[in-house]
Each structure stands twice: as structure tokens, then as C-alpha cells.
Structure 1
């Protein structure tokens, strides 16, 4: 029985006290196409087209010297996309709805970008704190605002992904919990609403993985 509304996001398994549900993050490896097949399947061709399009999008955001780093962001996009889709399946734990998961992705990336920028491009990082054309009286305030906005970047990345994935699941859970004892006509309307929400969640799963990867790419391009 569900103790509260957020218990559907409990990472502990119902069979044991161990958090075995986190192992669902590795299920995405089963969906990676087998590139060593002699004849590629339609799924392989479709996935290669998606990866090629995402690679071209990320490559346009980076400098020519950074174009080889797109493999990091395409891998990040694939990992988040697989986990978002797996969270829509029945009885599969949604790992991307937890801050512990999303912060583990955004915080190391942000720290590596900051270390690289401040060590190798110190003057550029200082100049980036003051936008061009800022009046002299506003420069201290702009430095403070830019510093705060830079510090909260990993948090906003993590919260954006986890909140969007959690919101749709909460709506589906609310509709499901209110379905007991309803007449058949209202129940059919409720099922239709859940189907529409599931379609919306599918779109959100794709959009949020793309947004997370694109913002990470933009943060990477700023330090070089």
C-alpha cells in the first residue's frame, strides 16, 4: 500500500531493504544497437540517424577544436534518454527523477568545465563575468550576479530534469489513485486522460534529455 504520494519514487526494493532499483539504470545498455552485426537492423539505422543528428547539433555549438568532444554529450543524451523512457515502463524505477542521479551527472561536468576554464583561460573567465557594454557603476553587481548564476548551473540542470520527470509521474499516480469506485463512463475518460499524459511524458522524456545535453554543451563552449 502506498504510504504517501512520493513513495512511488522510493529507490528501495519491496522485496529487500537494498536499493536494487538503481540497477535499472543499466537496462539502457540492452537497447544500444549491435554495431557488429553484418546486416544492421531498422532499429540500428534509426538510432544511427538520431545520433548523427544530435552530433551535428552539438558540433554547431562548439568550436572546431572542441568538435571531437561531442561523443561525451551524445553519450550523455543517450544515457538520459534511455533512463527517461525506461521510467515510463511499468514496474521500472525512474532513476532520473532523483536529484542524487541528476546531480551525479551535472556536478562533475560543471566542475570539470570550471577547472579547465580557470586554469587554461583565466582572463577569458574573468572577462565573462562582466558583459560587454556594462556601465562602470554596475560592474560589481554584474560580477556578483554572473558568479551566482554560474554557481547554480549544476543545480538548475539537475532540478530541471528531475522535476520534469517527477511531475508527470505524480499526475499519473494521482489519476490512478482516484480511479477506484468510479462509474464506467468516468473511468473511460480517466483512462483516455492517462493515455494523453503518457504521450506527453514520452515527449518530455525526449525533450529533457536533449535540453540537458544541449545546456551542457553550451556550458562547455563558454569556457573555451
Structure 2
């Protein structure tokens, strides 16, 4: 594994015929990731729990986009999606939820279960289902959309990534689930070796459904550019790392 602090500024020019799947691709960061991968010339499958919503989101994106029903918490849905998509070069695990809850005293077991069922168990299930197809690819890439709020290093002390004094100890369900995503990313990369590039993205605070009811966050397309960069890493690029949306390496 290469140890660098910043990703290459340019993505690898994609070879004709590369296929990507974006789980949770019909909205927010996932939608913009799908759109940008299409712009890079990939064939893109947009995974959506609700196929009708997925089709509406895909309208106008061009002939290179397809919609597949994908509920990451439903094993039969995951298996059917893997069969329908077939060959795959890029997997973007973007599906995620923020079920609420705050600190240890104000987070219910149900909120923890919901966060882990989608953000962790669903991510693993999708990765496992598509791993045979990825192993057949000449340039396999896995991008796990995580969160800087899941970084233990950033959570342990004051940092410029978020208002640490305000959020310390909060968001137990969501943030701990993203810490688990970071660990799974590292261990998956170690297991698969350098041929399969497996990296996690810290997208920053974005205007998505996870922040419904607020005006906080930046443009999801900016974070999606980070996901697209990880999806199109050159073959000598690093694997098994957490990267900020701007291409700088983030601590675990």
C-alpha cells in the first residue's frame, strides 16, 4: 500500500466499457456521483430502494444510466441487483441513514440498530454480493462513503473539521456506524490486496436528506467529485485509506 497524503489531482482516463454501481444513487451525493461518473464515460447503474424515484432521478442523464432496485437491508434485493447488473468495475457504497439520537443517554437501541443495519451491515452485504464481479474486473474500485465525524482521531480532540466543542459526544448512532465503515474499509483493503482499490470518503457536511429540515451543508456535487476521483484511481494509487473530499488523507 502506498502511503501518501494527497490523491493525484487527475483521475485515470477510464477505459471504454467500465461499469459502476452507485448504491443510494437517486439523491444527494449518490446522484451527483452517478452523474459525474457518466460524464467520465462510465456506464452507471443507479441503485434505488424505490425504482420509480430512481427513474425520475435518472431522467435526462442520458443513455448510459440504468436504474436497479436495491434495498441494502434486504438480502433478496441485494442478490437480485447483483444478478441484474452482472459485470462491475466500480462499486460506490453510498446508501446511508441518520436515524437521530444524540449522546449515550438520548440514543435508543432502535436508532443504533437502524444506523448499523443500513450503514454497516448493508454496506457489507452489497460488497460481498458484487465482489465476484469486481474480482473479474481489470480495474476494480470500491468507494465507501463514510464521514469525517466517524474519525476517532478527529473525535478525540479539537480539530478544524467540525465544531468539536458543540458536537463532542453526540450523534452516537450515526457517527459510530461510520467509524465501523472506516474499520471495514481498512480490513477489506488488507484482505483484497492492492489489485482492488478500497477507500473511504469523508464528504464533509452537505445539503442532503441526512440534514433534512436544516440549511446546513455545502454542495453535494463537491463531495461527489471526491467519490468519482476514488472510483477512477490509477492502478498505482493507494488503497485502504480515509480521504477527505478535497483529496487529502484523513486520520482514522
Band of TM-score, shorter chain: 0.3 to 0.5
Q: Which has the higher contact order (CA 8 A, sep 6+)?
A: 1
Q: Which has the higher strand share?
A: 2
Q: Which has the higher helix share?
A: 1
| Normalised TM-score (structure 2) | 0.31
